[in-house]
């Protein structure tokens, strides 16, 4: 592996890990393998701790491709529960309100999905990394401060109902960069005269990198530790201490 010229590693991020957790483990393994105190590693497209699936990690000079990689279409499998909301629109926070959901039918769900397909405007969650006056919205929200975010344009290219076991549904979504699936759950609940929140999320694709082509974090670390190393012609490997 040529970590200096740059490797692009597809990780199937486990539940509970932040994207930074995965980057930190990969960076640490590479630094130990190359006997370096510092090394550039980044990821293309953040995944929330409660989400799993495709996380693209770039090393060395391949970090220059992060903007291009994270700009690709993303595919998700989302599990959404009607009848209750949470401040974060997922299970990171506790239920704050309950709503009737018994009036919702599968036909109703099928009917409203097209309303969210195409180019739409979406208000991001207050528990998000969007910056407000230079500060992350989630930091302000966790301190109990009122946060007002503006709607942003995005594109939902496909929405397919995979399962309907009300009050819970499972939906496949193909969308553009910047889409918050948690906010989509919120909006679906409102459209159906109820409340809703995300209970599970799995990213199955970014661009042409699918979850089937990804490896686990342990498999990635094993490759880093055991694969033969190659280097650019202008690079000199530091001596081990």
Output the tens digit of pLDDT for each of the chain's 241 residues.
889 889 999 999 999 999 999 999 999 999 999 989 999 999 998 898 999 999 999 999 999 999 999 899 999 999 999 999 998 899 988 999 999 999 999 999 999 999 999 999 998 876 656 565 566 655 655 666 666 677 889 999 999 999 999 999 999 999 998 899 999 999 999 999 999 999 999 999 999 999 999 999 999 999 999 988 888 877 666 665 5
| Active-site residue flag, 48 | yes
What residues contact residue 199 under an 8 Å CB cut-off, 6+ apart?
A: 79, 80, 81, 90, 91, 168
CA dihedral for 15, 21, 27, 28, sign (positive or negative): negative
Residue 202 pairs in a beta bridge with 52, 77
Other C-beta atoms lying within 10 Å of the C-beta of residue 58:
23
Q: Which among 180, 152, 154, 195 is positioned nearest to 76, based on CA atoms?
A: 180
Q: Which listed residue (2, 12, 48, 187) is catalytic?
A: 48
Query: Are 99 and 195 contacting, i.e. CB atoms less than 8 angstroms apart?
Result: yes
Query: Are 5 and 60 contacting, i.e. CB atoms less than 8 angstroms apart?
Result: yes
């Amino acid at each position: 592996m040529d970590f200096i010229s740059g490797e692009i590693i597809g990780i199937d991020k486990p539940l509970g890990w932040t994207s930074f957790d995965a980057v930190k483990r990969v960076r640490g393994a590479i630094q130990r393998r190359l006997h370096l105190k510092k090394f550039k590693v980044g990821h293309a497209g953040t995944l929330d701790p409660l989400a799993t699936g495709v996380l693209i990690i770039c090393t060395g000079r391949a970090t220059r491709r992060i903007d291009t990689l994270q700009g690709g279409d993303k595919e998700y499998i989302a599990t959404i529960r009607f009848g209750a909301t949470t401040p974060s629109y997922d299970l990171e926070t506790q239920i704050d309100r309950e709503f009737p959901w018994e009036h919702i039918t599968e036909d109703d769900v099928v009917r409203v999905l097209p309303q969210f397909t195409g180019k739409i405007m979406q208000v991001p969650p207050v528990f998000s990394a969007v910056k407000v006056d230079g500060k992350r919205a989630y930091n302000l929200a966790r301190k109990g401060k009122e946060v007002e975010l503006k709607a942003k344009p995005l594109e939902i290219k496909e929405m397919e109902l995979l399962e309907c076991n009300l009050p819970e549904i499972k939906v496949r979504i193909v969308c553009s960069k910047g889409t918050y699936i948690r906010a989509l759950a919120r909006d679906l609940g409102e459209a159906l005269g109820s409340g809703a929140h995300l209970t599970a999320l799995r990213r199955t694709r970014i661009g042409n990198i699918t979850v089937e082509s990804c490896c686990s974090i342990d498999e990635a670390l094993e490759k880093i530790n055991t694969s033969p190393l190659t280097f650019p012609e202008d690079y000199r490997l530091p001596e081990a201490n």
